[in-house]
Structure 1
């Protein structure tokens, strides 16, 4: 039979005191860590350490970065926690170039402003210069070129602002493959049909159509052009129906009705 070792209370007391002391030290370290952590946050929030140091602007091609930053009202004295995102977005979206704005803060001191600009859908000529037109019909009077770049069609005779806006909105909805082959668009300003337009296409054809529902009507253009001889000369009429009219050849009423019925 083994004899159990008996530990006296005197031997246990020092060990209990040591264990309690270690536990108290750990608790003190924990509370001190929380204290200094909270203190560092307060110092960060109240000091220039939380001021904006970096402003990143993305998505802009027509709107200069320095103008975006200036109109946002953000600078190196702005505390990142005081930034009013909605207010900045509303301010920047007042610019006719801008369609949509998002503002994000990246701790500790970075602000990102992302723009979606209205698409450039054409050019208008004034005197000897060409000015870009946006999808909302806005003409960028500050961005002029002495020659066309070929990335969008030239709009001719669009002297009426409402007509220009309507045409611009239709062009912005046009499929890219069709938009890219339009060289010029002329507004006829006809009394009987104020929405009548004539298009000159880069594949050699002319098109007569209307501004009303233009983006929908022009979707048939590729299939019509594909059926025609590339060397054929004439006008493609796209309206209620669609038909091809060769130059110097009259289209009878019967032929037009037949083509419309085929559509």
Structure 2
């Protein structure tokens, strides 16, 4: 804190009060002094100087406190210009460097993009297919329709269209994803539908995948451990059966050999299940998973091969004897027919031998 001190507040160094009247004054000084007293003003001149006494010069305090030094530091917080000059140079250089960096980046970034787009890194170099099982990598690559040595990013932005092409051309493909690897190569990750059944088509069999779709491809020999579907015409009906089939335990799935669709006028959901143990189960599609779980217990109570009817409730009965007689009659007829054919063959052979001997004798006589 700076205290302003005026001359009139300073004490007399001799310790005595200054008395202007004790000094010999000229008449005009006295008149001036009286005039100032009347007006309430102090004298602007010192009586000691008039009296010839030399007054010690006292330091005058500046009215501006900021120009005076104070103990422990300077009154000017910013210091002198010479002290601030290095800081000003540093700030100026920092601003220049910042502006220069921005200008360089504005020119460098477009240049780098241009160099990238004209380089081989911006072109598609290869397409890799992974996690495929049944479908071939070549089939997936051809169905995708990606063009090598053409723009990488333009094809990547439209990858959804290529994924749709793959799923349309290859019904086995459930999903496919395209990702970039090694800077300029595509990696196609394929997920396939699983085969869950086989549909009988005359002398051949067509795979049925988990979405209920029957594939166009056919095989002569059905796959093992898959049920054979017969007489199904509707994909919706196949899908309904497969949903119930997937709810079964693995043991029950393995026990089913064939699933035959046998609708009636009264029941359009009726199925005949041919089991591996020789029994036949009559059951509705909608109740397949719920009722078939009781089959192992029911099958143990059967004394022989027969039918387990679960259409309404659960009851069993053996195969009709007429069917067995029909099978025996058919087998006997086939055996008799085979014997007749064998006899006819033997008779024809004997006749041929007799005719041959006659011809030989005739030739000898001649």
- TM over 0.5, shorter chain: yes
Structure 1 residues 220-231: aligned runs within 5 Å: 220-229=291-300
Conservation of the 8 A alpha-carbon contact between 1:48 and 1:79: no
Q: Distance in 2 between matches of 1:208 and 1:149?
A: 24
Q: Which among 112, 116, 139 is matched to residue 67 of structure 1?
A: 139
* CA RMSD of superposed structures (Å): 3.9
Q: Does 1:32 align with 2:104?
A: yes
Structure 1 residues 146-225: aligned runs within 5 Å: 147-156=221-230, 158=231, 162-163=233-234, 165-173=235-243, 174=245, 175-177=247-249, 178-187=252-261, 197-202=271-276, 204-209=278-283, 214=285, 216-225=287-296
Q: Greater share of strand residues, 1 or 2?
A: 1
1 or 2 for the larger relative contact order (CA 8 Å, sep ≥6)?
A: 1
Q: Distance in 2 between matches of 1:124 and 1:74?
A: 35
TM-fit CA distance, 1:73: 0.8
CA 1:247 to 1:126, structure 2 compared with 1: closer, same or farther past 3 Å? closer
Q: Does 1:82 align with 2:154?
A: yes
Q: Distance in 1 between matches of 2:208 and 2:72?
A: 102
2:41 alignment partner in structure 1? none
Q: Does 1:122 align with 2:188?
A: no
Q: Secondary structure at the match of 1:93?
A: helix
Q: Greater share of helix residues, 1 or 2?
A: 2
TM-fit CA distance, 1:27: 3.8
1:260 alignment partner in structure 2? none
TM-fit CA distance, 1:104: 3.9
> Which whole-Å deviations, capped at 9, do the CAs of 1:29-85 have from their partners, x for residues lacking one?
354346434433444345431333454545532322221111111133243322323
1:51 alignment partner in structure 2? 123
When normalised by structure 2's length, the TM-score is 0.52
Q: Distance in 1 between matches of 2:236 and 2:267?
A: 15
TM-fit CA distance, 1:167: 4.9
Q: Distance in 1 between matches of 2:307 and 2:193?
A: 32
Deviates more, 1:26-35 or 1:79-88: 26-35
Determine which structure has more spread, i.e. the larger CA radius of gyration. Answer: 2
Conservation of the 8 A alpha-carbon contact between 1:59 and 1:114: yes
TM-fit CA distance, 1:208: 2.3
TM-fit CA distance, 1:216: 3.8
Deviates more, 1:112-121 or 1:1-10: 1-10
Q: Which among 186, 204, 207 is matched to residue 132 of structure 1?
A: 207
Q: Secondary structure at the match of 2:147?
A: coil
CA 1:10 to 1:218, structure 2 compared with 1: closer, same or farther past 3 Å? closer
Q: Does 1:16 align with 2:92?
A: no
CA 1:57 to 1:205, structure 2 compared with 1: closer, same or farther past 3 Å? farther
Deviates more, 1:77-86 or 1:180-189: 180-189
Conservation of the 8 A alpha-carbon contact between 1:103 and 1:114: yes
Q: Distance in 2 between matches of 1:112 and 1:60?
A: 12
When normalised by structure 1's length, the TM-score is 0.68
1:141 alignment partner in structure 2? 217
Q: Distance in 2 between matches of 1:148 and 1:125?
A: 9
